[in-house]
Amino acid sequence: MVANNVRFLPNNVFSVMDARVDDAKARGIDVIDLSKANPDLPTPEFIVEAGQQALERIENHRYSQFDGKPALLQAAQEWYRREQGVELDWNSQLLATCGAGVALTALTQTVLEPGDVLAVVDPYYPPYAALAQAAGAELLAIPCTREQGFLPDFETVSDEQWSRTKLLLLNYPNNPTGAVASEQLFRQAIDLAHRHGFLLANDFAYASLGETPSGSTARGPAGLLSYAGSQDVAVEAVSLSKMYGMAGWRLGFIAGPSWLMRYIREYHHQMCSSPTGAVQDAGAAALLSDQSSVEGLSARYAKRRSILSKGLEGAGIEVFHADGALFVWAKAPHGMRGADFADLLLDDARVAVMPGDCFGAAGEDFVRFSLLDDELRLEECVRRIRALEL
């Protein structure tokens, strides 16, 4: 009685780890949980105040517009113009969603059909595999290596594979590696999309968290839409969760060409709900702000990254140095599999991390540490790992 596309969905790896951490804590074990990308710092006060004031407005006690409130969409348009150097039409190229995940679901359900290929870069965010399965599509994982800076070598994909690809889904800044896309990578992807007739998408969940690549007009990491030739073949899903510490507010948006956004909006109108009106007003305040809160947050994460990276290297663990997102991607020592190392850290050091193989085959020898605990806890994490004398 249950559809196979749902029956055989893989377990959500993050909920599985949550259960393990919760079980340990219930037994009185002090676990330092670095397994999740769940911001530990509070939402900036000016955003909270904007949300509180918005709750008082009667308009926000009702459903908001299907596409999102004009104030939010116009703020997203201004954010793209100011931060990414991209001109968009808020009325036809933007849609408000309850986070980037909902945006990507709407996209994949709109464009993928059974038998299509969804190409992703391996390592990849685990729900991408579920997006493919829910649409009846085949997942093509393009492997990345440390030697490539965890950026894909598109030359490894054959013309026959590209001919069957309907959508190439990128994720930069990257989860789990923290890699930031180069100008060359995005330009090559755009060229391939035009040449082979497929669509592009970038999961921009970690927008503004990382360095600006050379040749870009963006402030912070450049998104896909900031490059010429992208806007007729590419969409981008943006989340406010990480750059404004608004994970619990559930707000994001998707941007793309008007011809495609028309159909994504229709799917979203039928299958999803528009974000809460007061949350949209708070999000508009965040997007229109001077972004000093984002700059402060990015600097704080850089400090944490330094503490954890240097500490792990001091314990003999090889670290991939990257400027983006909220993670440290580390190689399991002594030829261990990442999954075994993650088990060792949880059982013996009381530190929870994600095993790299849940992000794809290219992550088998790695683990992912998040930066989302305070500096003192990260220092304690390092002490516990050093005590293992690996």
- CB-CB contact of 356 with 367 (8 Å): yes
pLDDT band of residue 361 (cuts 50, 70, 90) is very high
Q: Domain map of the chain by residue range? A: 4-43+293-387, 45-288
The answer on pLDDT for 390 being more than 90 is no
Average pLDDT over the chain, rounded to whole?
A: 96
**pLDDT (tens digit per residue) in 258-314:** 999 999 999 999 999 999 999 999 999 999 999 999 999 999 999 999 999 999 999
* Of 19-33, 197-211, 212-226, the least confident: 212-226
Task: Identify the CATH homologous superfamily for domain 4-43+293-387.
Answer: Aspartate Aminotransferase, domain 1 (3.90.1150.10)
Work out the average pLDDT over 245-261. 98
Q: What's the confidence (pLDDT) of residue 226?
A: 96
Burial class (CB in 10 A: 0-12, 13-18, 19+), 24: middle
Q: Is the pLDDT of residue 109 over 60?
A: yes
Report residue 127: phi and psi, to 5°.
Answer: -60, -15
- What is residue 344's predicted lDDT score, i.e. its pLDDT? 98
pLDDT of residue 386: 98
Residue 214's pLDDT is what? 59
- Give Cα separations from 283 to 239, 273, 349 (angstroms): 10, 17, 39
Which helix or strand (DSSP H or E) is residue 185 part of?
Answer: helix 183-196
What span, in angstroms and rounded, lies between the C-alpha atoms of 102 and 167? 17
Asked whether residue 215 carries a pLDDT value surpassing 60, the answer given is no
Which of 239, 243, 253, 207 is CA-nearest to residue 226?
207
Q: What is the mean pLDDT of residues 73-90?
A: 98
Domain 45-288 sits in CATH 3.40.640.10 = yes
Here the tokens at position 223 are 């998104």
**10 confidence band (pLDDT: 50, 70, 90):** confident
- pLDDT above 60 (res 127): yes
What is the rounded average pLDDT of the residues 345-373?
98
**Dihedral angle over CA of 307, 313, 319, 324, nearest 10:** 20
CA 262 distance to own-chain centroid: 24
Q: Does residue 224 register a pLDDT over 90?
A: yes
Using the predicted structure, report yes or no on whether residue 175 has a pLDDT greater than 60.
yes
Provide, for the chain, the percentages of residues in helix, strand and coil under a 3-state DSSP scheme, each rounded to the nearest 5: 50, 15, 35
Mean pLDDT (whole number) for 235-245: 98
Share of the chain above pLDDT 90, in %: 94
The average pLDDT across 93-111 equals 98
pLDDT of residue 231 exceeding 60, the answer is: yes
Mean pLDDT computed over 30-46: 97
What is the share, in percent, of the chain residues with pLDDT greater than 70?
98
